[in-house]
Every structure is written in C-alpha cells, then in structure tokens.
Amino acid sequence: MRHSPEALTAFAEAATLGSFSAAARKLGKSQSTVSSAIANLEIDLGITLFDRSSRKPALTEQGRVMLGKVQEILAASDRLDRAASQLGGGMEPKLSVVWSDTYQSDRFEEMLLAFENRFPDLEFECLIAEHGDLVSLVQTGRAHIGVVAAQSAYPPDVGSATIAEQSEITLFVATAHPLAVMKDITPDVLANFRELRLDTYIEAEQGAPQSRRAWSAPSYLMLMEMAVLGFGWAAIPRWMVTRFATGKLVELNARGWPRRVPVDAVWSRQRPLGRAGTWLLQEMLAPAR
C-alpha cells in the first residue's frame, strides 16, 4: 500500500476531531508532522481532503467520501493485525477487560472457564465502567478489550463489533414508591418523580444536560442501591435486579419499556491484541451455540 498507515490515521483523526492540532495531541505527534502527512496523502490521492480557507479546516466533499474509505482500510488493517497476532503465538503478560453492567451473557461463565483452561497462567484483570469512560480506558491502553452498550460512533483508533447477545434494560422503583402501583405510565408522569440517572465522569465533564430533579451515579450498581432506598426511578439492566434486588424493586409498567440494548466489544487499533485477547474477543463475538 503506497499510502502510509500513519497518514491514513492522521487524516481519520483530524477529520473526526475537527483540527490538525487535536489530532496531533491525540497521536502524540507535532502538528507539523500531522499536517505534512495529510498534505502528502492529498498529493498521493490527487484530491483535496480539507478546505483550509478558514482557521478551522473542514472536510471537502471529496474528503467526506474518502473518510469512509479510509475507515474501512483502518478496520481491515486492524483485522489483519489480530489474525497475525493469533497465528504468531504472541502472549500478553496480562489481559485487562473492562465490562459494562449492561452485558450479561448466558455464555459468560462457560467462556471464562474455557479461558482459564486455555490460559491458566495468564494474569487476568476485570474492570467496570460505562459509556465514554469505558471507551477511554481502552483508548489509553488501561484495558485491552471493552464490552459496552453500543454507541452511535467510536473514535477512529477504536475498533468495534457487535456481540450476538443483547441486554434488556427497564425501569424499576422501590416497592413502596408511589409509581410502583401505577399502570401505563407515560413520560409526563415519570417527569413528576425523581430520575436516578447513569452519569459517567466523561459525560459529566462534557456538560451533559441534567434534570433539576435528577440524581446521578457513575454505575448501575449504585443506581440500583439508590432505587432500593426509594429515592426515585431508574433504568437498570434486568439481570442485575433479578440477581441482587428481587423483592426490593418493582418493574414499572411504563410506555416504551423494557428496551433491548445491543452490546459492542471494543479494542484499540493502536495496540494489537495478543493471543489471549484475540481468543477472548473471538469467543465474545461468536454466534450463540
């Protein structure tokens, strides 16, 4: 391939982040290096990817088309790296996986038992996070693999694939809460009572809108505890309530609930997985047997 992976990555990051300087910071390179890489890519392709007439570069129509193609190339390159890692036999000294509490697979126990039998001497670490916090842990290399409620988009340096199994999230309140005895609850009715909302650190830092009545917490487990204490209603994964709060929480008869939530596995394209990580990822993505 005559187009260097570094140039393709620089272009994808600059297009996603909206500036060459932000891409340079993300990639740990100088702005001039990123600018030169993109300029050389434009020369190689024979098209203009960015309109530089204003202070902030903007994708041209050609650039928008090429961005999709470049993302496909980066994804294919990532698949090649994972295949080579599996065939080459490289083993990580430690594997870290960050899980969202939305994920609950019928195959989870079976998968971990198979993992232990296959890699008995490997140090294995499990972390818990949600949404943007989880993706950030994978981006920074703190975790090798993440399992997260499917996001509409991921950063260019994060690979993703949807797991066959979905999660189910629905609304719960304490048994003594006024909503517990109501039927056919509308959003207007819910708005009259306090919401207990999942709110990760990153979303909070970005200034996500907050209801005046809402309380927030960074984990579903904490939300569930708050709901059990009667502080409000919360959207919680059904498996968690079934396992830890049976008899303490009541499922609301609310319009539009429960909801099926697709779940993605995510990984860093900048840090190829070793043999154990590649095996575990493939097991997560395998169709239900």
H or E element in which residue 94 lies: strand 94-99
Report the sign of the C-alpha dihedral through residues 214, 243, 116, 79, in that order.
negative
Instruction: Give the per-residue pLDDT at 60.
Output: 92
167-259 and 91-166+262-285 share a CATH fold: yes
- pLDDT tens-place string over residues 252-279: 999 999 999 999 999 999 988 999 999 9
Q: Quick check: 207 pLDDT over 90?
A: no
Instruction: Give the per-residue pLDDT at 48.
Output: 93
Instruction: Give the per-residue pLDDT at 209.
Output: 42
pTM of the entire structure?
A: 0.68
- pLDDT tens-place string over residues 6-48: 899 999 999 988 889 998 998 888 999 999 999 989 988 989 9
The ranges assigned to domains in the chain are: 5-83, 91-166+262-285, 167-259
CATH fold label, 91-166+262-285:
D-Maltodextrin-Binding Protein; domain 2 (3.40.190)
Instruction: Give the per-residue pLDDT at 53.
Output: 87
Task: Read off φ and ψ for residue 128, nearest 5 degrees.
Answer: -125, 130
- pLDDT tens-place string over residues 49-93: 999 888 888 999 999 999 999 988 888 888 787 666 655 667 788
Which percentage of the chain shows pLDDT scores above 70? Answer: 91
CATH of the domain spanning 5-83, picked from 3.90.1170.50, 1.20.59.10, 1.10.10.10, 3.30.450.70: 1.10.10.10
What is the CATH class of 167-259?
alpha beta
